[in-house]
Structure formats: C-alpha cells, structure tokens
Structure 1
Amino acid sequence: MNVIGKVTVLPQLPPSIARLSELAYNLYWSWTPHAQALYSELDPQVWENFGQNPVRTLLEVPQARLDEVATDKGYQTRYKAVMADFDAYMNLKKTWASKNAPEMKPVAYFSMEYGFHESLPIYSGGLGVLAGDHCKSASDLGLPFTAVGMLFHQGYFRQLFDKDGWQNEAYDEMDLTTLPITPARTPDGQEARVSVRIGNREIQVRVWNLIIGRIRVLLLDTNVPENSEEDRKLTARLYGGNQELRVQQYVLLGVAGIRALRALEVPAAVYHMNEGHAALLGLERIREDVEKGLDFRTALETVASSTLFTTHTPVAAGNDAFAYDLMDRYLADWPALLSTTREELYELARHDQNWDGQTVPAFSMTVFALRMSRAANGVSELHGEVSRDMWKFLYPGAEAEEVPIGHVTNGAHNLTFTSQAMRDLLSTVLPKDWTERLEDEQMWKAVDQLSDAQLSNVQLETKREMIAFIRVRMREQMLRNGAGAADVAATDSLMDENALTIGFARRFATYKRATLLFRDRERLARIVNNPERPVQFVFAGKAHPADNPGKAFIQEIYKMSQEPEFRGKIVILENYDMNVARHLVQGVDIWLNNPRRPLEASGTSGMKASFNGSPNFSVLDGWWREGYDGTNGWPIGEEREYADLNVQDDADAYSLYQTLEDDIVPRYYGEAKGEDSWAYSVRRSIETVSPRFSMQRQVIDYVQKFYLPLGTRGQEVAANGSAQAHAIAGWKTWVRQQWPYTSLSAHAELPATCHPGQTAPISASVNPAGISLDELRVEAVLSRAGHLTRFELENRGDGTFSADVPLAESGLYSVGVRMIPEMDGLSNELEAGLIKWATAR
C-alpha cells in the first residue's frame, strides 16, 4: 500500500477500568506482576506478541473485550487491588529519603542506555539494566531524582540465529505511539525542544517524559522533521555506528541533556555520570557559568565539585578514546564558548594511546569524566582496586591504593527479577513492609522459617514456566530456519524439569569465557549424561554487532548443542533480553559465571538468580568476591590472576568440573538434611544476597557516600559567586606553575634491625619555590607488605620538617618521604595531582 498517513485510534476505557491507561504510562507495572496480569488477561496472545507492552495491548484489544472485563467481578477485584497498591506507593509520604536524607539535594543522573522493560529496548545489557534498576530504586526510596537518556528509535538489535548458529542483527523501528512515553512540556505548556550544535549543524532535539514510579526520565530524540535525514539518525540505534556517530551521540547526551533539564526547569544540584558516555555534560555546565561571568578554571571547579562519575569496566574497549582531529570536528567551537584554549580543554581528557605502533594523544571520555568530577567510583570492591591501579597515572607519584576512586558495589532491583511465586512465599515470613526494607539484613533471616517443601515447590513452578518458555522459543527459531518436522517436534520435550539446570546468560564479550565449559568435552559429556544425576545447561546472550570473536563463541555453543552427546542437554536461546533474563534467573537451579578475573567489574545476573533461590557458581570476581561466604554458592578457581591465560583457563575449567562433580551434583540429588541439604544452599542464597545486593542498598550507598556530600560541597564551592571555586582554581594555577621549581631532600636514621614500637628519626629539607610552607604536607611513607602507612613530619618553620616515626609492627619496611600541596576545601588530598618524592641527602 502507498501510505499517505497514519492515525492512532485510542481505546475508550469503561469508567470502571479507566485508570488502566494511567497505569500503562507509569513503569511501576514493570516490577509489579499483578499489574501486568491486568493487561495480559485482556488478551494473552496480544500481550505476548507485542512484547508485554500495556500501551500497545490497550490499543490492540477490541472494545468489546474491554467492555466485558469492565463488568467481570473477578477482574474488578484484581483491578481495584492493584490500583490501591499503586496509589499507596505513589502517595507514600514517609519514604526512606524523607526519614534518612531529608536534606538531600536533587540529583540529575545521565546514562546512555536504560533497561526498564523489554518493551522499551533502549538498552544493550548490564549497564542499561543497572541504570534502569537505579531509577526504580530511586523511586522506591523517594529520592529527588531525574534521569536523562536517549530515545533510540530502533533500540538495540534483535538477535536472530541462522541455521548454522551465526548471530544476525535485525533493527525494528519503534512506533512511538505505542510506547509509555509522553511529550515533555515546559512550564508554559509547550512541547519541550532544545537545540545543540554538532559540527557545523544546528540540531533540534525533542524531549520525552518516561515515568518510573515517583520519578521521571527525560529521553532525547532527534528524529524530528526539522532535522536532516542524517541527523534524525543520531537517535536511531544504540551502539550501532562508527566513532564519528558515537562522538555526536555523546555531545547530544551531555549538552542537549543539560539543556533539556533547564528548558523544563528541573532542579539539579548533583550530577551523576553513569559511565564516560555522559562526560560532555561538563562542557555545557561550564559554558553556563562562563556566560554568567566566571573564568574557565573557576567554572571548572564549580561544576566538578557537584559531579560524580561511575566507571563500569576495566576493559579497554569500554573506555572510549578518540583522535584529536575527530574531536575537532565536533568540539571546535567549544574552547571559545568556554573562554579557554583547545590545548587546555583537551589536556583535561588526554590519554596517550598506542595506535599502529605510534604513541599519540587521544581524547579519553573516562579521563575527561574523572577530571570533570570530584568524586568517582568503581562498581565492586575489586573493581575499585583495579580502577585505582588503572588510572593512577593521572596522579604521578601516588600509589594505587591512594587514588581517589572509591566503590559502590552494584545491586539489582529485587522486585523486577523476583518471581511473583517467590514474592508470595517470602511474604508469608517477612514483615508486611518488607519491600520497603530490602536492604535490612536482619529481616531476611526470617527466610530460615521456610520449609524445604515450600521452597522446592515454588522453584519447581518457576522452573516449569522457564522450560515452557524455552520450548516455545526454540520451536519458533527452528521453524524460522526451516528445521525438519522431527527436530521441531523434539522441542516439545526439550529439557527435563527434574534435572539439575544451570544457566549462563550475559553479553558475549570474549573475556566472559562463555565456552569455558567445553574445554574438556569428554568430561562434560559424562556430567550431563549421567543417567541417575543428569545436568543440563541453558545459554543466552548477545555479541556486539562488530564483535566477530563473540559471535564465534555463540556459534561454537550452538554447534555443540547439536552434537549427539549434548543434544537436549545444552540449549542456547536467541534474542537475549529482559524477558529471557527474567525467565532464566527465576527458573534455573544454579547460575554460572566464569569471566576472566579481574575483568568482570561487577556483574548482576547472579544476584537476580539468588533472589529466586538459585545459588551462584562463579569465579571470585566482581560482586561474587564479596558475596560468597562459603554457604550460599560455590567458587570457580582461585582468588588470583595469571600471567598465562591458557593456564588460567585450564585451572578454572578443572575447578568448574571438579566442583560440579564433587559438590554441586551430589548436594542437588542428595537427601541430606540441615546444612548439607540443597534447601540450605537455597535459603542461604536468598537471605545473604537479597539484602546486600539489593538495588535499594546500592542507591542508599550512593546517597550516603556521594549524593549527600556532593550536594553540600557543591553548594559551598558555588556560594557567593563561586568564591571558593575561584580560590581553589587560583591556588592550583599558582602551585602548578611553581611546582617544577620546588625541591625536597630527606634523611632517615634507620638501624639495620629494630623491635616493634621503636622510632626512626626522619628529617626533610624543602625549597618551596614561593609556595607557603603551610600549604605543603611533608610526610614519611612506610610501605610494608604492600600497604602504606603515612606519618606527617612537623614543620619547623625554616624549610625543615622532622619527626620520630614509629615502627609499630614487625616486618620489612621501605621508607620514603614526599611532599603534597594542600589547602582547605579540596575534595581530596590528591586533587591537585602533584606529588614530589624526596632524594636522599
């Protein structure tokens, strides 16, 4: 047909169910299965066919069916119960924030991707789902919080396997009229539009509202008639283009995102950059302050004082760095707008790269984000350690443990991923308000009151649902690829509900080692084909469209699943999304994760499985290094790194097989009671992981560690026309100018041996090159067993510093003396990035 126009005919909801439309436009339903059931009951086939999307379901269901349920007493009862819960949630006044952080200032949270629900596919994987969960818990806790992101019209790709198991990508254009979004409107009622200059083009950006419980997300969209065809594609695909496109998208997210907040008069005092994609928001915030009359360096200090940066990966590919000439194409106007030079601006992002055998300066989004913020964190304890070591070159002379990058270990949104059956069971032993106290570890001890039978019955129910889902998906895949009738029919009996079932689902990045399980094929075949104690595996995951090695891993597993000894024992599902993820984390018995340590920054899928009573079986990396306590799952390999990757793979594969054979399989099929039983492992996984790795705990950590302090400091630094920012900027300029001319020498009277408690006289002589001695901290640094102890030397007033430094513990000490510039009001003692170590005298 020659389409000349489109019209959306909205349903006429009967008064008794009129609020179904209101609920459909608030993603509260995405973590409320009873709310979802109201829509699926209208037409289960429509609900499934259109990605479990309430808005689309209401559009597709015939008026007669709406009229029918409006008079159905059972439906009315369920509808009223859901709406009562929804109203209670939305109108709750005594939230966690009101009781524990009433002085908290509003937060603006920026992320490239968000995973709220599969019907809004503007996420690719863990980063987006984490951002979505962060928003959900910000709502649950009652935070003053607004998120900013992009509305990708084609989202991330839909994954299709061909008959040989090779991943192909399909991109579907979303119909915005069927999404739970509405045009954002300015205070005077106009549709919100902002513009941003990218290169030599002025691009118009439409802003959409997405409501997540009590908070909102602003989504940026360039697909408007005023823009050229190319510019309309800037918000077409997530991670779908080349470096040129990515840079333009980052300008759009950062600059247009800030302008959207301003156009809508959304208050923000703290700015949280979720990964380096959002780093360019600092450009626009500095421009605003420069326009008000501040100089560049004062504006930089003002902006950075209220900014938090979260880094998510130690993998090089996840830390974008761009050639200067590429950045010139899109940032050429910015130095003038900021009243600075190109050199000074780019130096804030400089990270030298080895490209084609040559060292060249590059514009690193991660470095820029670190320099544009005064607080930074990794996403697990180990990742914090790795990040401090990875970025310590930004603080020459500092040891890794001193680098000012902290950590907040990731969590997951319990209610999004815990099955309704498990939630109902938990409600029988947990207090009435348990969903508001998810982080309360003491509360979760009540799980001990659940009987073995109660737990196994619920888990069998969700396992059956997962198996039914897998069979439908595999049948669809086989029919599409022209499989024979026998193969299609075999899907009806695929997987055994009584067999130990292990799940593995995540991005197919090669460091996640999806194929490690197949390292010893014969041994694996014996494990899965044991007639008395069979084991089966289900895999799912997407590789980035440009990641052929990752696609090869998918194909290898697919082909392995077709081998006679593994047919029906190994299954790999296509099109991994949040729907697949929910089915798997709710249905498997064990969650497998075997990344190459220490490259897994955190990982969250295993947490979600544990919420449902599925213990983790994982390498001690990311969150599991903190989560494993010896009772709630099993480790793979040792807590160490390897110089030889093949040796590491061999060792970890051996550990995987041995633990499966000797510990997991016997426990699952055994009939032991008490602490040796399978039910004990299930209980321990629920009660230890649910509170500690809840998204509620994670967001509370962000509030207490970062949002509250940054809100206070940002306000102080910006007060009185940014007087403190001006003082800090001026001091840094002066100290950095003079630093090369300073000198430091030291002498230590160290005996060959001594006893704990003795002291060592240490003295130092300083040439301050005009810097006040009161602004120099001179300290002895004792390194013992890889840990630093610092002891400040006393200023004698004549350029000499000295102290008797205690040697408290036995052991071998290395002793040094160093000098650090300091002033009141800095965010941390290494903020100036200057350290000078003494020469011996």
Structure 2
Amino acid sequence: MKAIRRFTVRPVLPEPLQPLSGLARNLRWSWHTETQELFRSVDPERWQAVAGDPVRLLGNVSAARMADLAKDRRFLRRLAAAADDLDDYLHGRRWYQSGDGGPDTTEFPAAVAYFSPEFGVTAALPQYSGGLGILAGDHLKAASDLGVPLIGVGLLYRHGYFRQSLSRDGWQQEHYPVLDPNELPLDLLREADGTPAGVSLALPGGRLLHAHIWVAQVGRVPLLMLDSDVEGNGPGARDVTDRLYGGGSEHRLLQEMLLGIGGVRAVRAYCRVTGHHAPEVFHTNEGHAGFLGLERIRELGESPDKGGSGLGFDAALEAVRAGTVFTTHTPVPAGIDRFDRDLVARHFADDAELPGVPVDQVLQLGTESYPGGDRGLFNMAVMGLRLAQRANGVSRLHGAVSREMFSGLWPGFDAVEVPITSITNGVHAPTWVAPEVFRLGARQIGPGRAEDALSVGGSSRWDAVANIPDAEIWELRRSLREQLVLEVRERLRASWRQRGAGAAELGWIDGVLDPDVLTIGFARRVPSYKRLTLMLRDRRRLTELLLHPTQPIQIVVAGKAHPADDGGKRLVRELVRFADDPKVRHRLVFLPDYGMAMAKKLYPGCDVWLNNPLRPLEACGTSGMKAALNGSLNLSVLDGWWDEWYEPDFGWAIPTADGAATDDDRRDELEAAALYALIEDRVAPRFYDRGTGGLPDRWIEMVRRTLTTLGPKVLAGRMVREYVERLYTPAARAHRALDASAAEELAGFKARVRAGWPQVAIDHVEAVDQDAGAGAAATAGLGSTLTLRVQARLGELRPDDVEVQAVAGRVDADDAIRDAQTFPLKPSSGPDLEGRWVYEGPMALDRTGPFGYTVRVLPAHRLIPAGADMGLVALPSEAVGQDAGMLMR
C-alpha cells in the first residue's frame, strides 16, 4: 500500500545527547575525522547502512541505544570534547581575522556572496554533478577554515543530478531518487514569527515563482539553497528546481533567474533575519548565476525611501561591476549557456521580472557583439564578464585560453591584455586526504600542526614528510591499495547484480584486482574531450600492459555521461564492454555511479592518476590534485594545473600532437601510443624496481616529492587566500569608492568618452635617440633612451580623460610585440589650431635584438583599472606607424 503523503519524524534526543544534533547539522563533520568517529561509535552497523550520514543515523538509532549512550560517561566526555572543538572552530580567530601572512584585514570585505549552480560538500547532500560543484564545495570549506565571511548561494534540486547504473550490455541508465530536505542536513530559514522566509520572481503573464530558502551550515559558512517545490507554485513552477542541468532552454533560464535574481533576494533575507554582514563582493562561479548583477542594478535603481540609491541604469551598472568577481570554468564556447534573445526578452518584459530595468539594456549585456558571435543569442558568460570588473580563469593556461576566447569583447587589444587573470584551483585537503595519510603526517609533526598544514598550507610543515621512513610510506601505499581492491570488488558485485547477474555468475569478482599490482585511476565526467576511451585505442597493446608477466598494471575507471549525451554514453558502453571481457576483467574495471563517496576511496588507493584530455580543453582538472595529496603520482597531458606545476620529479607528462595540421583521429592515435610507451617504459618499471631493502626506492622518492612540493600548492586554502587578496579585497575597495555620487560621475565619464572616441586619433609619431642626438634610426645601443613625440587628436576630450602610452618590446617575424612594456607619455603642448595635442616621454632600451614600439591612446579615470577595461583604444594608422621598428645592438 502506497502512502498518500510523506513527512519526516525527527528523533528526540535525551538531554545529555543534545549536542549530537548540532554536530550532525553542521557539515564540518564531513571533513572532521574525530566527529565522524564519534558518530560511528553511536551504532557502527547503522553508520555503515546510512553511508556515513549523521542526520540519517540519528533518525534510525533505537531509543534503547540512545538511553544507553546518555548514561555512558566515556561517550559523553567524547561528545563534550567534540562539541567544544566545533564551538572553538566556529568562533575562534582564524587567518581572515588575524591577517597572518601580511594582508591588511581592514581592507578585507565585510562579507562575500558566492553563487554557484552546484555545490559538492558531501555525499549526504547530493547537489553536484562534477568538478564545478566539487570545486564550489571545497571553496566554501576552505573559506570556513580560513574564517572568510562567505555566504554560499545555490539551488536545492529535489532529484539532485542522477544516479548511474548499467544495463546488461553496458548502456548507462539514469535514476532520479526524490530528496526530502527534511531528511538532509538542512534547516529552513524562518522569519522572526516562525513563518518560512522566501523569495518570489515575476513570470510572464502575471504568474509568480516562489521559493523557500534552506540553509546548510558548512562550518562557519552558510549555504543558502532555493527550493521551488513549495505550495503556492503551479506544477511548472514547482518543478523549476527539480534536477541539476535538466530540462529545456526555458527551464534552464528559469533556474538561472532563480539562482541569480532569487539568490540576491535570499542573501538579503538571510542577512535581515540573522544579522549577518551584507556582502560587499558578489562572486559568480560560472555564468549560470549572472543574473545576480541585474537584480543588484534593480536594487540600486530604487528610490532611497525603498532602500535604493535612485541610480540610473548606467550608474548602477558601474556600482555593480566594481564589487563583482566572475570566474569562468570552460575553455570552449560550447560549454557556455546561451539562450534565444526572444526568450530572455519575454522574461524581462514589463509584465515579468525586473521592472524598471530596460529590457534592451538587459539584452545588450548578453549580446555576442564581436566577429563570429551570434547576435540572436544571449550569452551568459558574456553577460557575466560585462557585469564584473574582475574576472579569472582557473589555471594559468586556462587564463590564457579564456583571454583568447573572449578577446572579441576587447577589440584593438592583444589577447594578453584582455582583463581576465587566473587563480589556479585547489582542493580541500581535510576532505580528500585519507585518514591513514593524515595520521602518518600527524605522527611526524603533531595532529594540530598537520591539520593546520592541510587547511592553511605552509611549505615548512610539508617538508616534514621528508623525515618519514621509506618503509612506512610504502606500507601506507600498499594498505590504501588493498582497501581500494576491497571497495572495487564490493561495488563491482553490486553493479553486476543490478545488471541482472546471479550470485553463481560472480565468483570471478573475488579475484578482481591485486593489492600488489600497479594501480591506475581514471575518473571524471564523460564529455568527448576528456577521452575516456583513449586507453582503448590499441586494445592489443593495452591488453599486453594489463597482463604483463612481470610488470602488470590494473586500471579502475569511473564516470558519468550527461543524460542527454548519447555520444558520451556510447563511450561508457565501449569501455564497459572491454572491461567485461573475461580475459582482462580482473585487471580493468568500470565502476558506475561515480560520486564523492567513491572518490574518497579511489584517490588514495591509486598509485597513478591518469588524465588525457584534448589540450587545452581541461580548465584545471582538480581530481589529480586530490590524488596527489594522497601520494598518487600524476600521468597527464600538460593541461590545466598540470601544465603549470608538472616536474619530472613527481609525475609524467603525456606528449601531445597539438596543431591544426593533425586531425582528431591521427592525434588520438599518436597520443595513445605515447601513453602506452610511457607506462611500459617508465611508469611500470619504476614501480616494480626494488632496491636492496625490497622497496621501490625511486618510486617512494617520487611520492615524497609529490607530497612536499605539490602538497602546499594544490590546497584550496591557498586558492581562497589568493581570491581574498587578489580579487575580493580590490573589489571591496572599488565597491566602497563607488558610492552613488562616484557611480554617477563614472557613468557620465564613460558616456562622454564613448561618444567622443571616434574623434580620437594619432596623427604623427617620431623618436629621438638622446645619445645620438638624431632622429629615429634603424639601430640603437642597449641602455640608450629614446624620446618619443606624439601628436594626438582628442576631439571633445581633454588630456585628463586619456592616457597616451608607448608600448615596446621584442618583435617577432611578423612585427608583433612580445613581452611588452608600457611607457606613459605626458602632454607638452596643445591644442593647436587643428585640435592636436603633443605628448612626449622617454623610452629606455633595456634589451637587445629585434625591437619595436607603437603608441596608443586609452581612456583614463581614477575609478577604472588601467588598460582594456572600457575596451576602447586608438592606435596609429599603418602610415603613421610604418617606420616604428628598431633593431637593438
């Protein structure tokens, strides 16, 4: 008989056990081993049955067991210690409050709002699909460890992403279990009178979209999650937050409007109810939340009696840009959300959302107004960049790729000058480092210092790994590999049962994998560019590697294809069918339903982490970082973070066949052959090469170098500190400088400059070698100084409105300037009768070889960053600049 209604009955804990509730409902337990062990001791069997979820555990433990624990003095002492530790963690001074490391904490923002479409905090809160969500979860956790006053903002998907299983023939199947927020580690945000706090959005046709606000406490950081499955919404509106990355264009648009616009309103409600500091900085993690900028423009446009500043659109836009950070995660245009302009226009019309914000201005923000762009589409990343004064990619290489990809938004500037910087991702070590690895480090430097090293960093603490004996490191690696073998067999058996196999067919699983064989891991989403099946390119050669008589390898693979990606599903099936072959199935396995719980076993248990994307399409690739923190060595294409930090001392680089001359098929063939050769000639021999003590000395040294050298670099704590110092603090400073009056001033300046820019031109450039006393020559000596004299027309603009610069550096065969330096030029006279100003200034010649320079005029204002911020530049015509080259000697 099926229930007609479902609700949750929460446990009533005995008074001495009340602190368990607070420990369970703060997700710090998900990365705090001692708290997990406390919950495990409540009921070890049930802890295993509920997959390590304290909220579910407390709802399933018998009253008799609770009564016993309430009288257990040893347990109560442990409980009191855990509760005190959490209280100290939540309220003690941390890096952000102390300024340890140099930054002036008075400059730090009072609070930062961090928006993301997905958050991977713990498997007990399945609101993630892949790397973007895991990164967002790690960002929140690291911010909590550092004391950064962050507020996370996302959506609560009632079905999460999806659970993956396999059919008998290996085809991916999706399942969408219903998630009841009352059974999750969440609390409903309530007003002072106890009613649920909520937000509403106006939809076309006079409809409303309502959402409640659930709060997950991630250590010190609140994560606000909007839920549209509430009474008062019609069926379509209730389903807006049904699935992560599901539905058609309008469904996705509504999700992103709720995330961005509704998210800002949720932050305002949270701060009003709790007294939390209002954010000075808004950070959008990818373009999905880009509409948050429009809501903030609407807020500023309201009259002062309604809490706004009465700003016009242009002034409000400047104020919003000053305090906004945009992070792009995709290196390919196809990975960006784009909507039909008419669909967007309908949802921002007068009878829909954001009244008072002109719909044509909204559309302009997302228009691909550059060569090759589709003006019929609304691009969320383009809008994100136009609404943020600061933007970044997620690795050094990805920053360069992003500057090239979005360079059309800044015409006239070289890609290197596009204002997109990079902060390389990191991972939250307390989440991803196996307890056994942590304990080994803690024995060496002490538990407190080990925890601090994982959370905050500090290379001196990591250097202590050098003193751990080889035998202990190797025994740990063998133990972790053995744990993975047992985990794989258990998961593989469950998968085959789901595929319809009976117990009599599965005896072979007891022989799958060997704890003494070199183990390679490959686990990630399955878009085509990540090349799940590159390893299958030459199946004969792969089989030889798997079955090598003295140096065999074994491979554990996992990954999900998007439900709408049949191409990705075919790749999964291709690999599964190979792994089903009785000849190799004990050496290569595919594990379905890849998620955080599986990953925590997979990363530590693998000796080598494999990554073979098409370069440069991997924005960062943080899975290899998590493996490295557990002593796994990386075997990867030089892409993402590995391109930045690879050294032969702690891993291997797979050679690539980049270049337009190589077609995709040939490229895969060449790179697969290089992968096989690396494994056969270098990786496997080093693993199996035993020294005099029976240990693989050279392999252990690589593990040691991985931990000491890469360890401090790949931490999310390092990443968040960089965000605070390089992006959040400058954004907060700009936000404070741009009050209503300054915003109006800046908007007026930009309007005046844009109107007058067509009249700005460079008429003449000449150079005088001060040492030679002559005019521009074909050569000049190292160390000499040129005086540049430029005639520039400014039209209606004044010298204070612009900056005139010389740009100089070495030139290549095409006369393109490389490693450019800029030299400011100052007005010396003008205007003449034709409106020309003369600018002069010195240019030092400090390098030899082919050298060149040019000059340019840029807008300049105290409230905008120097360079390409406005996307306006005046350059010499070819006739003016034709003799600007110079050869150094």
Sort the TM-score into its range (normalised by shorter chain). Answer: over 0.9
Which residue of the other structure, out of 88, 106, 114, is the alignment partner of 1:109?
Answer: 114
Would you say the 8 A contact 1:735–1:771 is kept in 2?
yes
The amino acid of 1:239's aligned partner reads Y
Match of 2:687? 668
| Aligned-residue offset at 1:787 | 2.6
SS at match of 1:429: helix
Superposed CA deviations along residues 440-498 of structure 1, whole A, max 9, x for unmatched, are 11221000011112112222222222221111111111112122545412112211000
Would you say the 8 A contact 1:286–1:338 is kept in 2?
no
Partners of 1:838 and 1:110 in 2: how far apart? 43
User: Structure 2 matches for 1:588-603, cutoff 5 A?
Assistant: 588-603=606-621
| Aligned-residue offset at 1:642 | 5.3
Superposed CA deviations along residues 497-533 of structure 1, whole A, max 9, x for unmatched, are 0000000001111111111112222222111111222
Would you say the 8 A contact 2:489–2:510 is kept in 1?
yes
Partners of 2:426 and 2:44 in 1: how far apart? 32
| Aligned-residue offset at 1:227 | 0.3
Superposed CA deviations along residues 41-91 of structure 1, whole A, max 9, x for unmatched, are 444454344343211121122222333444556655654443343233223
Match of 2:266? 260
Match of 1:476? 494
Match of 1:560? 578
| Aligned-residue offset at 1:672 | 3.6
Which residue of the other structure, out of 775, 780, 790, is the alignment partner of 2:822?
Answer: 790
Which residue of the other structure, out of 231, 236, 239, is the alignment partner of 1:230?
Answer: 236
Partners of 1:515 and 1:224 in 2: how far apart? 43
User: Structure 2 matches for 1:800-839, cutoff 5 A?
Assistant: 800-839=838-877
Match of 1:464? 482
Would you say the 8 A contact 2:345–2:363 is kept in 1?
no
- Please say which of residues 289-298 and 806-815 is displaced more in the overlay: 806-815
Would you say the 8 A contact 2:165–2:498 is kept in 1?
no
Which residue of the other structure, out of 578, 591, 594, is the alignment partner of 1:576?
Answer: 594
| Aligned-residue offset at 1:245 | 0.8
Partners of 1:90 and 1:160 in 2: how far apart? 39
TM-score with structure 2 setting the length: 0.90
Match of 1:207? 213
Tell me whether 1:646 sits opposite 2:665 in the alignment.
yes
Which residue of the other structure, out of 305, 311, 335, is the alignment partner of 2:322?
Answer: 305
Which residue of the other structure, out of 707, 716, 723, is the alignment partner of 1:695?
Answer: 716
SS at match of 1:780: strand
Match of 1:273? 284
Which residue of the other structure, out of 363, 384, 387, is the alignment partner of 1:372?
Answer: 387
Partners of 1:838 and 1:340 in 2: how far apart? 39
Would you say the 8 A contact 1:404–1:828 is kept in 2?
no
Match of 1:495? 513
Would you say the 8 A contact 1:500–1:535 is kept in 2?
yes
Distance 1:735 1:340, change over 3 A: farther
Partners of 1:439 and 1:148 in 2: how far apart? 27
Partners of 2:743 and 2:696 in 1: how far apart? 58
Structure 1 residue ranges, 4+ long, deviating more than 6 angstroms after superposition: none
User: Structure 2 matches for 1:163-174, cutoff 5 A?
Assistant: 163-174=168-179
User: Structure 2 matches for 1:763-778, cutoff 5 A?
Assistant: 763-778=789-804
Partners of 1:390 and 1:112 in 2: how far apart? 23
SS at match of 2:413: coil
| Aligned-residue offset at 1:678 | 1.2
| Aligned-residue offset at 1:663 | 1.6
Would you say the 8 A contact 2:760–2:795 is kept in 1?
yes
The amino acid of 1:221's aligned partner reads D
Q: Which runs of 5+ in 1 are unaligned?
A: none
User: Structure 2 matches for 1:146-225, cutoff 5 A?
Assistant: 146-187=151-192, 189-200=194-205, 201-225=207-231
Partners of 1:397 and 1:675 in 2: how far apart? 56
SS at match of 2:87: helix
Tell me whether 1:751 sits opposite 2:751 in the alignment.
no
Match of 1:332? 349
Which residue of the other structure, out of 697, 716, 731, is the alignment partner of 2:737?
Answer: 716
Would you say the 8 A contact 1:154–1:236 is kept in 2?
yes
SS at match of 2:151: strand
Distance 1:363 1:578, change over 3 A: same
Distance 1:676 1:542, change over 3 A: same
- Number of residue pairs the alignment of both structures matches: 836
Distance 1:346 1:595, change over 3 A: same
Partners of 1:630 and 1:602 in 2: how far apart? 19
Match of 1:133? 138
Partners of 1:45 and 1:477 in 2: how far apart? 22
Match of 1:421? 436
Partners of 1:127 and 1:459 in 2: how far apart? 29
**Identity fraction in percent:** 39
Partners of 2:748 and 2:282 in 1: how far apart? 24
Which residue of the other structure, out of 335, 338, 343, is the alignment partner of 2:360?
Answer: 343
Distance 1:352 1:572, change over 3 A: farther
Would you say the 8 A contact 1:354–1:360 is kept in 2?
no
Would you say the 8 A contact 1:444–1:691 is kept in 2?
yes
| Aligned-residue offset at 1:314 | 1.0
- Please say which of residues 619-628 and 119-128 is displaced more in the overlay: 619-628
Partners of 1:204 and 1:378 in 2: how far apart? 34
Tell me whether 1:287 sits opposite 2:298 in the alignment.
yes
SS at match of 1:286: helix
Match of 1:706? 727
CA RMSD of aligned residues (A): 2.3
Would you say the 8 A contact 2:370–2:409 is kept in 1?
no
Tell me whether 1:315 sits opposite 2:332 in the alignment.
yes
Partners of 1:656 and 1:74 in 2: how far apart? 55
| Aligned-residue offset at 1:37 | 2.9
Match of 2:675? 656
Would you say the 8 A contact 1:353–1:362 is kept in 2?
no
Which residue of the other structure, out of 517, 524, 527, is the alignment partner of 2:542?
Answer: 524
- Please say which of residues 512-521 and 144-153 is displaced more in the overlay: 512-521
Distance 1:653 1:746, change over 3 A: farther
SS at match of 1:837: coil
SS at match of 1:836: coil
Superposed CA deviations along residues 602-622 of structure 1, whole A, max 9, x for unmatched, are 111111111111111111111
Distance 1:3 1:486, change over 3 A: closer
Match of 2:13? 13
| Aligned-residue offset at 1:427 | 0.4
Match of 1:82? 82
SS at match of 1:692: coil
| Aligned-residue offset at 1:424 | 0.8
| Aligned-residue offset at 1:738 | 1.1
The amino acid of 2:839's aligned partner reads F
Distance 1:334 1:626, change over 3 A: farther
- Please say which of residues 549-558 and 15-24 is displaced more in the overlay: 15-24
Would you say the 8 A contact 1:106–1:145 is kept in 2?
yes
Would you say the 8 A contact 2:293–2:387 is kept in 1?
yes
Partners of 2:192 and 2:285 in 1: how far apart? 28
Match of 2:66? 66
- Please say which of residues 311-320 and 612-621 is displaced more in the overlay: 311-320
| Aligned-residue offset at 1:14 | 3.3
Distance 1:406 1:663, change over 3 A: same
Partners of 1:556 and 1:5 in 2: how far apart? 43
SS at match of 1:89: helix
TM-score with structure 1 setting the length: 0.95
Superposed CA deviations along residues 290-332 of structure 1, whole A, max 9, x for unmatched, are 0131111111111111111111111223211212111112122
